[in-house]
Amino acid sequence: MAKQIAKKIKLQIPAGKATPAPPVGTVLGPAGINLQEFCTKFNDASRDKMGDILPVEITIYDDRTFDFVLKTPPAAFLIKKAAGIQKGSAKGANHVVATITKAQLQEIAETKLPDLNAYTVEEAMKIVEGTARNMGVAVKGLNDKELAKQEEEAIQEEKEAAKREAELEKAEEAQQVSEPETNEE
């Protein structure tokens, strides 16, 4: 008879650095599994990927035993690592913060292929390129010129919006001056 699955938990943990402390302990503690055993197994399984953040899918059974499956690092993490940046753009594609090469894009796509909804590396490259674009990371020779143009347009729009906002404030101030407030008691 197969074991009954009690619950499935998904976490993102730095490879080789799982400890029973939060966030691992706070999520897995209530599930009733042996935290030290999980941390030891996870660290042994992920030791070769040190420095990466790894998503892990943990299946917990009714008898408090568990299995886990390591996934590939998130595309955003791999893009930041390839571009050498700490974080993506706050304004998305409207502000380019870094540029990666097509070879780096292909390498990331090949790494992510098992976890993506794609059959070929070319399809995976399009998915990863979309992620990079939303992070403000351009791909040299693919979309760098397009994103640079989009960034210029966004800056122009911001200037126009700021100008309209200033005009609106002036109009509101002029209206308040021309209509003095009356206090009726």
pLDDT in tens, the chain (185 residues): 567 877 888 888 888 777 777 778 788 778 778 888 888 888 888 888 887 888 888 888 888 888 888 888 888 888 888 888 887 777 766 677 777 888 888 888 888 888 888 788 888 888 888 888 888 777 776 666 666 677 777 777 777 888 888 888 888 888 877 766 555 55
Structural domains of the chain ordered from first start:
5-70 (3.30.1550.10), 73-176 (1.10.10.250)
pLDDT in tens, 1-14: 567 877 888 888 88
Q: Residue 173, CB half-sphere, CA atoms under 13 Å: how many?
A: 6
Q: Rounded to two decimals, what is the model's pTM?
A: 0.64
| Axis-axis angle for helices 121-134, 102-112 (nearest 10) | 110
Pairing relation of β-strands 137-139 and 98-100? parallel
